[in-house]
Amino acid sequence: MTFLRRRRLAAIALLAATFMLAAVPSARAQTFPALSGRVVDEAGVLDPSVRQHLTTQLAALEQKTSDQVVVATVRSLQGYSVEDYANRLFRAWRLGQSTTNNGVLLLVARSDHKVRIEVGYGLEGTLPDAVAKLIIEELMVSRLRANQFDAAIESAVTSIVDVLTGSAAEWKQRAAVRPHYQANSHPAPVGNILFTLVFGVLFLGGFAGVAFVALHAVINGLIAIHVLPQFKARRGWWHWLDFFDDGKPPPRRRASSQQASSYPSSYAWASSSSSSWSDSSSSSSSDSFSGGGGSSGGGGASGSW
């Protein structure tokens, strides 16, 4: 095979890969479970007593603060990213009050092994991404890996309620000094840059290689100056940009090196009771609940197990 032919085939492969990355699952019909209550357990992973306890807890929260927090477990994300699915579900259910957009969605996708806390614009200051990430990684992931869905979701809900009812400052301090938070504050997706240089210069070579590297640099530059959407703001078709920046959130402020010694004093650990997978759908506890007219999630955090 001649060098010219190899370069042509590489260019075709690159175009095909870019097309596949740009393809989104919007062509498939997307369905959401009905908002039948504050806990929608479509995946059937929660014990009925736990669903009822969570419903009572979240109803009391809304009565006290007007914040609407909903728990949803689904069997599948239907091919969407957990960020895209959660944002679409948040909008479909219109969580939060229309004037304050103070809704929160805790989403657990059973077969995809994904979890997300989607936060309405009005609560971004109280429940920022770093706190949502702390709740997911330190209180949910290990329990979900052990199939302890009841304990994982109860602990997350207890934490969210704690944040929204007065302990936000303590949780932010804990999130700001955690080691993982510092470790992720790298300035650029180094692995993706190295791949670009190796693939573009060594494999493609010549004009095609230079064009590939230049395209990569231009798109990353447009993302950096917010002409193209940042990771958190990408919805639907825009997820093809993840190819260029590894899908990493923008660099975060480096935290203090001083470590916190404990969780907020008002935090109460949830029960460690486990819940096994269930193939049959379990009906959600209904409490005549409906969304208050919130428009969209403004932030949040995701995790996997």
> Cβ(251)–Cβ(186) under 8 Å?
yes
- Residue 211, pLDDT score: 72
Distance CA 76, CA 107 (A): 11
Cα 197 to chain centroid, rounded: 30
Please name the residues in contact with 222: beta carbons below 8 A apart, sequence gap of 6 or more.
228
Q: What DSSP designation does 233 have?
A: G
Provide the 10 A C-beta neighbour count for residue 122. 19
- Residue 203, pLDDT score: 56
- Residue 173, pLDDT score: 92
DSSP 55-83: HHHHHHHHHHH--EEEEEEES--TTS-HH
Please list the residues that pair with 73 across neighbouring strands: 41, 108
Distance CA 112, CA 292 (A): 29
Strands 114-120 and 297-304, bridge-based pairing = antiparallel
Structure tokens, 130: 């770093």
Distance CA 260, CA 275 (A): 31
Sheet holding 68-74, edge to edge: 39-41, 68-74, 103-109, 114-120, 297-304
H or E segment and range at residue 109:
strand 103-109
- Residue 74, pLDDT score: 97
Please list the residues that pair with 148 across neighbouring strands: 275
Q: Sign of dihedral through CA atoms 304, 148, 155, 259?
A: negative
- Residue 31, SS3 per DSSP: coil
Residue ranges and CATH numbers for the domains of the chain are 3-21+186-245 (no CATH), 36-182+283-304 (3.10.310.50)
In 3D space, the residue among 232, 237, 236, 238 whose CA is nearest the CA of residue 88 turns out to be 236
Instruction: Give me the helices (H) in 41-148, please.
Output: 48-65, 82-93, 129-139, 141-145
H or E segment and range at residue 39:
strand 39-41
Please list the residues that pair with 72 across neighbouring strands: 40, 107
pTM above 0.75, yes or no: no
- Residue 201, pLDDT score: 56
- Residue 255, pLDDT score: 37
| pLDDT per 10-residue tile (average), the chain, 305 residues | 58 56 51 93 96 96 96 94 92 91 96 95 93 94 94 97 94 82 42 54 61 75 73 64 57 38 42 36 51 74 89
Instruction: Give me the helices (H) in the chain, please.
Output: 3-22, 48-65, 82-93, 129-139, 141-145, 149-162, 168-177, 179-183, 190-197, 206-224, 242-245
- Residue 102, SS3 per DSSP: coil
